[in-house]
């Protein structure tokens, strides 16, 4: 990495500014990248919109500069978004970062536009999923895509930019939409997983536990999972079905507390709520299930692979990229509760098949999903961007 700022001939640290809408998401999905960047000599600033339950002081004690930028993760209030736009503008002008790394939709849209307008020299835009409007085909979603087209086009056309995607289909969709040049794209399979956290790899002999881990959104396939549990219990299948995840009232497909109470009353699934200790949860599970409608590349599934657990997920972008079909897991059609129930039943009836899939998943995780591999790829991206500026 070159620390030479050729514009003024003075040797300075390269400053990276991360902008993310939710600090808890940053901690779970990007913190190792920030820590590695700091350890390799970068000056790292973390700016966030909502804390999501995370404590900014913990990051400050690690030596990071942490800044709050008022930003509603799921909001569509025009006046508030204009204020957010102004605050991001002020942030970039005051911090003067060499590299801005934008994570999640509002940051990579608003931040991408402002980075170009304020002269940020290098830009990383991380697309961890394309969101609800790219899943649904209704008029409202099509109209929103029409309105957002110029924002995406401007945000993804910085002169020195890398756009990170987690599956190739997201990149192809953005390219076919006319907003992204594939020459800018770097494919990284997920946000990585620390394999050392997953050491209890053998199944415990007990009633089979089928676990769903995600935010409780309709688009994550919550109701398909619940319906599959209902189907299997009516068949007399002996198993536990566990729903692990928190509510997200800022997502328009999120379940609310009334929905959750109804699921508890019905009794087909055990509602566990948000779980911090995923390795412990997976160690007690036998099958991990995510019947989502579309993903970037879900961390819950790469963690399932690390935990040596068989996966059942949907045959959609992102989900199918997290497994080796019929080797480390099974794919089912999206929004098909019966097919999901049949796949779960298959793995319950065939424990050796299930265990072999889990072992194959661990091999896949060791090869593709190691956090060290993801971190090193990000450091190379930063260095390449800086070198391009220095070469000019």
User: pLDDT tens across 107-136, in order?
Assistant: 999 999 999 999 999 999 999 877 677 777
In a shared domain, residues 56 and 128: yes
Whether 302 and 381 map to the same domain: the answer is no
Distance CA 23, CA 17 (A): 14
Question: Into how many domains does the chain fold?
Answer: 2
Q: How far apart, in whole angstroms, are the C-alpha atoms of residue 315 and residue 312?
A: 10
Question: Roughly what angle, to the nearest 10 degrees, separates helices 222-234 and 337-349?
Answer: 60
pLDDT tens for 281-314 read 999 999 999 999 999 899 999 999 999 999 999 9
> Do 219 and 155 belong together in one domain?
no
Distance, CA of 160 to CA of 250 (rounded, Å): 33
Q: What is the CATH number of the domain that holds 160?
A: 3.40.50.2000
Q: Please tell me whether residue 225 adopts helix, strand or coil conformation.
A: helix
347 with 379, same domain: the answer is no
Question: How large is the average pLDDT for residues 337-362?
Answer: 98
Return the closest-CA partner of residue 322 out of 286, 285, 294, 355.
Answer: 294
Location of structure tokens 């109804």: 262
Given strand 99-103, what is the order of strands in its sheet? 65-68, 43-50, 15-22, 99-103, 122-127, 161-165, 185-187
Binned at pLDDT 50, 70 and 90, residue 250 comes out as: confident
pTM confidence score: 0.90
Same domain assignment for residues 355 and 376: no
Clarify whether residues 155 and 8 are in a common domain. yes
Domain range enclosing 144: 4-192+371-390
Query: pLDDT for 28-59, tens place per residue?
Result: 999 999 999 999 999 999 999 998 889 999 99
Same domain, 187 and 201: no
Confidence band, pLDDT 50/70/90 cuts, at residue 205: confident
How many residues are given for the chain?
A: 392
- The number of CA neighbours under 13 Å toward the Cβ of 370 is 8
Mean pLDDT, to the nearest integer, of 219-240? 97
* More confident call, 333 vs 141: 333
Token pair in block for residue 109: 């849209």
Q: What is the pLDDT of residues 133-181, one digit of tens each?
A: 777 777 877 888 888 899 999 999 999 999 999 999 999 999 999 999 9
Cα angle: 369, vertex 373, 378; to 5 degrees? 115
């Amino acid at each position: 990495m070159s620390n030479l700022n050729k514009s003024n001939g003075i040797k300075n640290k390269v400053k990276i500014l991360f902008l993310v809408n939710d600090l808890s998401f940053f901690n779970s999905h990007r913190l190792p990248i920030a820590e590695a960047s700091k350890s390799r000599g970068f000056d790292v600033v973390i700016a966030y919109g909502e804390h999501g339950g995370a404590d900014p002081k913990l990051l400050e004690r690690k030596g990071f500069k942490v800044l709050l930028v008022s930003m509603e993760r799921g909001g569509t209030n025009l006046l508030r978004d204009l204020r957010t736009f102004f605050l991001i503008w002020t942030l970039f002008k005051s911090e003067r970062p060499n590299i801005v790394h934008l994570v999640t939709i509002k940051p990579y849209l608003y931040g991408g536009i402002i980075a170009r307008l304020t002269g940020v020299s290098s830009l990383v835009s991380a697309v961890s999923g394309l969101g609800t409007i790219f899943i649904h085909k209704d008029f409202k979603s099509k109209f929103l895509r029409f309105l957002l087209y110029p924002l995406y086009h401007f945000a993804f056309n910085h002169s020195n930019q890398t756009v990170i995607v987690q599956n190739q289909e997201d990149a192809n969709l953005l390219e076919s939409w006319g907003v992204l040049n594939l020459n800018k794209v770097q494919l990284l399979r997920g946000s990585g997983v620390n394999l050392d956290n997953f050491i209890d790899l053998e199944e415990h002999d007990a009633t089979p536990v089928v676990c769903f881990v995600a935010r409780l959104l309709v688009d994550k396939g919550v109701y398909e999972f619940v319906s599959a549990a209902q189907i299997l219990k009516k068949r007399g299948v002996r198993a536990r079905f566990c729903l692990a995840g928190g509510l997200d009232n800022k997502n328009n497909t999120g379940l609310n507390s009334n929905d959750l109470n109804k699921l508890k009353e019905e009794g087909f699934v055990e509602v566990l709520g948000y779980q911090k200790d995923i390795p412990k949860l997976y160690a007690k599970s036998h099958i991990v299930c995510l019947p989502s409608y579309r993903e970037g590349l879900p961390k819950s599934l790469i963690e399932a692979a690390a935990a040596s657990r068989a996966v059942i997920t949907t045959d959609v972008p992102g989900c199918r990229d997290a497994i080796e079909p019929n080797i480390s897991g099974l794919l089912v059609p999206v929004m098909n509760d019966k097919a999901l129930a049949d796949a779960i039943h298959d793995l319950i009836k065939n424990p050796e098949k299930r265990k072999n899939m889990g072992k194959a998943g661990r091999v896949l995780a060791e090869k593709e999903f190691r956090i060290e591999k993801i971190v090193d790829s990000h450091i190379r991206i930063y260095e390449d961007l800086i070198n391009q500026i220095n070469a000019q």
